[in-house]
Amino acid sequence: MSDDELLFMPATRAAALIRTGALSPVALLQAVLAAARRAQPRLNPFVVLLEQQAMADAAAAEAAVRGGQPLGPLHGVPVSIKDQVDVRGVRTTHGSAIFANSPAATADDVTVARLRAAGAVIFGKTTLPEFGHKALTDGPAFGTTRNPWDLARTSGGSSGGAAVALACGLGPLALGMDGAGSIRIPAACCGVVGLKPTLGSIPWQQGADAFGNYTYAGPMARSVADLAVMRAVLTGPDASDPWSLGAADRPLSPALAGRDLHGLRVGVIGLAANPRLQREMAENFRASIAVLEQLGAVAEAAGDGIDWMEMPGRVMYQANFAISQRRHLGEWRDRMDPTLLAFMQRGDGFSLEEFREGQYARTRLFRGIQALFERFDVLVTPTLSRTALPADFDAAHDEVEVEGELCGITRQGWSSYVYPFNLSGHPALTVPSGFDDAGLPTAVQLVGRWGAELDLLRLGAVLEEARPWAGRRPPGAAV
């Protein structure tokens, strides 16, 4: 089997071949690690490759197959972890020089433990901006992570390293984190699939504010089927996350149970807080809606009257960084990302009244979206207003340009479709929708009722079949 076949093999197929003994998990991991070493100087997707431990785990996985032991759904499959999540025996840097020499984690995060229990081989930790604060993956501690479709563009963020690794065949699965679109933004930029689950569906063990949480662990993959298997492994309650204790999947919507989509009501949101949409993004968005309509769905405009709370959300986001990272300023200010420092400075300027008003706005947003789901079974939006920004874009000060018009900072002009669902808690899946004229990926976002991930996965699979993407390789994947 060629390296290309190994690297771009779906996780579901790899696991099936490993279970029958037709594929060696050692050989698969060796191919992934070799390609990752070659890609690292150009693309920078990894903070560290866990070669020694991963090879030992792959050898143990191979021995388990030979010994006839019970095997999990991801047995022998290589998986990468965003370096914001604890992996036993490895330091968690959070993308910051502050933790570059910190002690290794003494235990796996619950998500990592579940992946290991399913048989996954953890082989590397992926890059992120400092503390995952922005929608681009770059910073003074670990450099710039570049988009494999165009090295002059950003990979997106903050799970940028994870998205780049997937797009280049450096493991079929990756664990990301999403605090304001940080799974969906890089997935859209790099042409892969990413899920922000329902609040509590996948426990987030490391959150400092468990009750006010809007950060989510979530799966990323090259195909919907792979993402669905990984998501099934990760879900379930954990004592550390109060939201997870009552979380449950909704059954598949009756309108999605058959071969067609008759009876499915689709709410179409063309603009959120953003004033413009790139031409090719709009064209591919409309083409995706047309796929659903051709199968019997009824699509209507939605979202009028929704306050997407860009400014109140910004208040909460930047004020949280100002408080959580303040303790580092005395020693580390000169080595921290200037964008993070700008966010913190702005966050310090907000009042307690403004912060509380943001929390009230979050409740209004949730109720407004809940009202939409009285009329619609699913919401569909573009994932971003345009394709990947330049890699040197200044997220603190530059305005996003769309179709020749300056449209505000990233939250206003680029990623306004994604962060509202962090705040509302509804599940949101991004899937590729095509490419723009420059060959950069475009994407659509599917949003469901609380607990309705099965609906989103079904619709994502429909779009994947109608408008396939996984077979196309980015130029930067040639290693």
Q: Is 182 a catalytic residue?
A: yes
Q: What is the pLDDT of residue 173?
A: 99
Specify the pTM. Answer: 0.98
The torsion angles phi and psi of 477, rounded to 5 degrees, stand at -80, -10
Q: Tell me, letter by letter, the H, E, C secondary structure of the chain.
A: CCHHHHHCCCHHHHHHHHHHCCCCHHHHHHHHHHHHHHHHHHHCCEEEECHHHHHHHHHHHHHHHHCCCCCCCCCCCEEEEECCCCECCECCCCCCHHHCCCCCCCCCCHHHHHHHHCCCEEEEEECCCHHHCCCCCCCCCCCCCEECCEEEEECCCCCHHHHHHHHCCCCCEEEEEECCCCCHHHHHHHCCEEEECCCCCCCCCCCCCCCCCCCEEEEEECCHHHHHHHHHHHCCCCCCCHHHHHCCCCCCCHHHCCCCCCCCEEEECCCCCCCCCCHHHHHHHHHHHHHHHHCCCEEEECCCCCCCCHHHHHHHHHHHHHHHCHHHHHHHHHHCCHHHHHHHHHHHCCCHHHHHHHHHHHHHHHHHHHHHHHHCCEEEEECCCCCCCECCCCCCCCCCEECCEECCCHHHHCCCCCHHHHHHCCCEEEEEEEECCCCCEEEEEEECCCCCHHHHHHHHHHHHHHCCCCCCCCHHHCC
Q: Mean pLDDT per 10-residue run, the chain (479 residues)?
A: 94 98 98 98 98 98 97 98 98 97 97 98 98 98 97 98 98 98 98 98 94 97 98 97 95 92 97 97 98 98 95 97 97 97 98 98 98 98 98 97 98 98 98 98 98 98 93 82
Q: What is the pLDDT of residue 478?
A: 66
Structural domains in the chain (count)? 1
What count of Cα atoms within 13 Å lies in the side-chain half-sphere of residue 244?
Answer: 21
CATH of the domain at 33: 3.90.1300.10
Mean pLDDT, the chain, integer: 97
- Tens-digit pLDDT profile for residues 126-169: 999 999 999 999 999 999 999 999 999 999 999 999 999 999 99
Q: Is 433 a catalytic residue?
A: no
Length of the chain: 479
Q: What is the pLDDT of residue 10?
A: 98
Q: What is the pLDDT of residue 439?
A: 97
Annotated catalytic residue within 24, 82, 244, 253: 82
Q: Is 158 a catalytic residue?
A: yes
Residue 356 domain boundaries: 3-477
Q: What is the pLDDT of residue 300?
A: 98
Nearest to 247 by CA among 193, 306, 204, 195: 204
Q: What is the pLDDT of residue 477?
A: 83
Annotated catalytic residue within 80, 96, 155, 158: 158
Q: What is the pLDDT of residue 259?
A: 85
Annotated catalytic residue within 96, 155, 159, 182: 182
Structure tokens at 219: 């799966």
- Tens-digit pLDDT profile for residues 282-299: 999 999 999 999 999 999
